[in-house]
């Protein structure tokens, strides 16, 4: 039996791509990505006030698929419009709270800390994502020439400025100092891995701050990211990305969250952190190093299994 075709709708950010692609892979779909761009005016209008009309897009695209998986605010209206056009001929799944009527979608996948309830809502602990343990295993030796196997490894996964966190110099200096005191002075080797949102000056700062024995990845490098998660004894992730924290949790390894002062209400982040603390997955980066374990978190597979059961009720012939 041939695979069902899927269209993945996002704004192009790593966290969103990771979620839609992860679910598509877990559902064994033949997928393609479509970056959503709205006409300038509609960028400022919440989905609940936006007309269900494909013409709000700055660039149109063809839809020749049976499944649509969308993530993010800008992908809400295109997904609903396509569902309205094709009806039962397509299945539409939205990841995260769409901020519109839940009945516009066949399924909504939302983290528990969103407190979203509905018959078609499937909840997750943290964010679903595209990482698998096979991916980590297959990239274990990517940084082999740079890693000192005689030392323990700590990986620092860096996000970037958001509306909640501004990454000011004092905050970054404090995070780097904690890493130096807690890990490097105990003879750990550091791998610094930037993301798509990491400013170049933060990467340069890491190069200048840490000595030549440490590994600073100079640009976005998926293989280096996977290798660092596989090789690390401890993982540090900046607090601005619940997606990257969720991804790291597939390892079952100790995760420290490098907290920063928030510049606006971060209630959802706090709910996420509290949940992951209760699951013994994360601790705040502080003044001591501990070792702990927890069951590897694979919410993507859990959600895919639930959807597979329900998808049998649909006739895509």
* Residue range 27-38, pLDDT digits in tens: 999 999 999 988
Residue 1: the pLDDT is 47
Helices (H), 109-259: 133-138, 169-182, 200-209, 222-231, 242-248
Percent of the chain with pLDDT over 90: 81
Residue 52: the pLDDT is 85
Query: In this model, does residue 56 exceed pLDDT 90?
Result: no
Confidence of residue 62 (pLDDT cuts 50, 70, 90): confident
At 153, which helix (H) or strand (E)? strand 153-158
Q: Does this model's pTM top 0.75? A: yes
Residue 134: the pLDDT is 95
Residue 16: the pLDDT is 93
Residue 50: the pLDDT is 85
Query: In this model, does residue 317 exceed pLDDT 70?
Result: no
Residue 106: the pLDDT is 95
Confidence of residue 316 (pLDDT cuts 50, 70, 90): low
CA distance 15 to 21: 10
Tokens of residue 309, six digits: 């059961």
Q: Which domains does the chain have, with CATH numbers?
A: 5-130+299-311 (3.40.50), 133-284 (3.40.50.2000)
Residue 180: the pLDDT is 96
Q: Which residue has the higher pLDDT, 104 or 43?
A: 104
DSSP-assigned letter for residue 57: B
Quote the mean pLDDT of the chain. 93
Average pLDDT over residues 290-299: 95
For residue 71, CA distances in Å to 22, 55, 309 come to 12, 19, 22
201's CB contacts (< 8 A; 6+ apart) are none
For residue 113, CA distances in Å to 43, 96, 118, 306 come to 26, 11, 15, 20
* Residue range 186-213, pLDDT digits in tens: 999 999 999 999 999 999 999 999 999 9
Residue 194: the pLDDT is 97
* Residue range 229-247, pLDDT digits in tens: 999 999 999 999 999 999 9
Q: In degrees rounded to 5, what are phi and psi of residue 96?
A: 90, 165
């Amino acid at each position: 039996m041939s695979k069902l075709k899927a269209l993945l709708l996002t704004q192009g950010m790593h966290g969103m791509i990771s979620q839609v692609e992860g679910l598509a892979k877990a559902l064994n779909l033949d997928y393609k990505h479509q970056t959503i761009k709205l006409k300038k005016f509609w960028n400022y209008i919440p989905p609940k006030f936006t007309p269900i009309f494909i013409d709000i897009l700055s660039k149109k695209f063809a839809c020749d698929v049976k499944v649509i998986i969308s993530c993010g605010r800008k992908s809400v209206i295109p997904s609903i419009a396509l569902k309205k056009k094709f009806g039962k001929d397509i299945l539409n799944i939205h990841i995260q709270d769409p901020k519109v009527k839940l009945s516009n979608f066949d399924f909504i996948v939302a983290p528990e800390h969103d407190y979203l309830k509905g018959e078609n809502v499937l909840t997750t602990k943290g964010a679903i994502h595209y990482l698998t343990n096979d991916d980590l295993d297959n990239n274990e030796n990517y940084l082999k020439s740079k890693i000192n196997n005689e030392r323990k490894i700590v990986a620092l996964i860096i996000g970037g400025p958001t509306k909640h966190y501004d990454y000011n110099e004092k905050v970054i200096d404090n995070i780097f100092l904690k890493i130096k005191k807690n890990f490097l002075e105990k003879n750990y080797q550091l791998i610094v891995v930037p993301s798509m949102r990491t400013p170049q000056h933060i990467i340069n700062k890491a190069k200048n701050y840490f000595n030549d024995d440490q590994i600073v990845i100079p640009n976005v490098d998926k293989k280096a990211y996977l290798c660092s998660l596989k090789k690390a004894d401890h993982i540090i992730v900046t607090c601005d990305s619940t997606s990257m924290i969720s991804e790291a949790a597939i390892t079952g390894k100790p995760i420290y969250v490098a907290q920063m002062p928030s510049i606006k209400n971060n209630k959802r982040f706090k709910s996420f952190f509290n949940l992951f603390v209760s699951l013994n997955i994360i601790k705040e980066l502080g003044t001591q190093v501990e070792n702990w374990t927890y069951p590897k978190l694979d919410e993507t597979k859990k959600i895919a299994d639930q959807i597979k059961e329900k998808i049998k009720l649909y006739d895509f012939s």
